[in-house]
Amino acid sequence: MTGFEKQNGQRLLVAVLISTGRNPVSGVVRRAELDARALEIVLALDTDVQFEVIHAGDPENPVLKDYLGMGLSDITVLPCDPDDDPASSLVWYLNRIRPDVVLTGNRAETGEGSGFIPYAVAQQLGALFVAQITALKFLADSKLQLSQSIPGGYRRRLYAQPPIVGSVDGSALPPRIPAYARSQRGKIHIVEAPRQNDAQSADWNILTGRNKPKKITRYHGETMAERLDFAWGQDRTGGTTIEARKNPRNGADAIHRALGDAGLLDRAGKGDNSKLTDIT
């Protein structure tokens, strides 16, 4: 038995949930960027893992061709109307196939865009949820090693036991470009899942929004010139000055001290990127 099989000999299964995306500027329909990144994580796995790509929506959607162009043999579609809640259909199907890992993008690019569906799916499947995954690795003893991105560009290593649901944000690797021939070869399988109308959003009003003016910090300067300088970021009068033309070591010491005071060096004074993050 290799490390990538479960105790009962079944292969590990990864499910990727995909959705329709829109270009934010032109509104043209295309792959959802974060869902494509989630799919890229699975495609770039060097281990031989079984995966299934699932879409809850219209089987005739042209976006599915773009996803097939990434090299997929098939996509499973659960037909849903735009008014339906996709989470209930997805949970029904995922309960049937029982994947070990479910990956999807952080937020949808159409509709409400709350980013809540992965959490609802995790709760209803009884799976653990992990946010902002950038890499996935299967270890022996059916354990998972995950790489989570944290603000500042850093990565945290996490260990978890399947089943897990993970969301992917923009710090994961960019997705591959779809190829036409592959998109023609891929197939779409339709599975009729029970649909549920999204009752909660029935009484919402979706209106055109205007861009609200941004709040700015007002500076009660004495003269108009001072207020303009503040608004343009030119109100600075400088800080400490260290003279280091004759003796460069003074300058180097001052920089070292300033970095230490700011907490950007560890106790030994060496540059250490684990101390640069504010997240515990």
Partner 1 sequence: MPKNKDRRIRRDPRRERIARQGKSVGGSEHFDIDGRADRVRKFPHFCRSVTYGERVRINPFAATQNIRCSKSESQPKKHESKSDIKPSIITDPSYFVVVVPDLLAGRPTDHDRLTFSAARQLASDTDGAVLAVLFEDSDFDFGKLGVDRIMKFSTVLLAGYSPEYRADAIVSIAQETPVRHILFPDSKFGSGDLGRRVAARLGCRPASGVRQIGEGQIVCKSADPLLEIHRSLCTIMLMDPEIDVETTQIYCEGRELNAPLVDISMPKLQDGGLEQVDVSGIPLSEASLILAAGAGVSDWQEFYNLAESLGAAIAGSRVVVDKGFVGRDRQVGASGVSVAGRCYIALGISGAPQHLQGIVDCDLVIAVNTDPGCPMSLRADLMIVGDVNSIMPILREIISDRL
Restricting to residues 28-87, which ones interact with partner 1 according to CB under 8 A? Answer: none
230 Cβ contact partners less than 8 Å away, ≥ 6 residues apart: 219, 221
- Compute the distance between CA of residue 36 and CA of residue 249 in angstroms, rounded to an integer: 51
Residues that bind partner 1 (rule: CB under 8 A) add up to a total of 89
Q: What are phi and psi of 126, to 5 degrees?
A: 75, 30
69 Cβ contact partners less than 8 Å away, ≥ 6 residues apart: 178, 179, 180, 182, 183, 186
Q: Is 238 in the site for partner 1 (CB under 8 A)?
A: yes
- Least distance in angstroms from the C-beta of 180 to partner 1: 28
- Name 18's bridge partners: 55
Query: Residue 71 or 111: which CB sits closer to partner 1?
Result: 111
Restricting to residues 117-176, which ones interact with partner 1 according to CB under 8 A? Answer: 119-120, 122-123, 128-132, 145, 147-148, 151-161, 169
From 75-83, 89-97, 177-185, 214-222, span contacting partner 1 (CB under 8 A): 214-222
From 2-10, 65-73, 180-188, 269-277, span contacting partner 1 (CB under 8 A): 269-277
- Specify the length of the chain in residues: 280
Q: What are phi and psi of 211, to 5 degrees?
A: -70, 120
Q: According to CB under 8 A, which one of 2, 8, 26, 208 is a site residue for partner 1?
A: 208
Q: Is 9 in the site for partner 1 (CB under 8 A)?
A: no
Q: Is 243 in the site for partner 1 (CB under 8 A)?
A: yes
Query: Residue 1 or 241: which CB sits closer to partner 1?
Result: 241
Q: 84, 97, 89, 53: which is closest to 189 by C-alpha?
A: 53
- Compute the distance between CA of residue 39 and CA of residue 162 in angstroms, rounded to an integer: 18
Q: According to CB under 8 A, which one of 69, 80, 109, 186 is a site residue for partner 1?
A: 109
- Least distance in angstroms from the C-beta of 171 to partner 1: 8
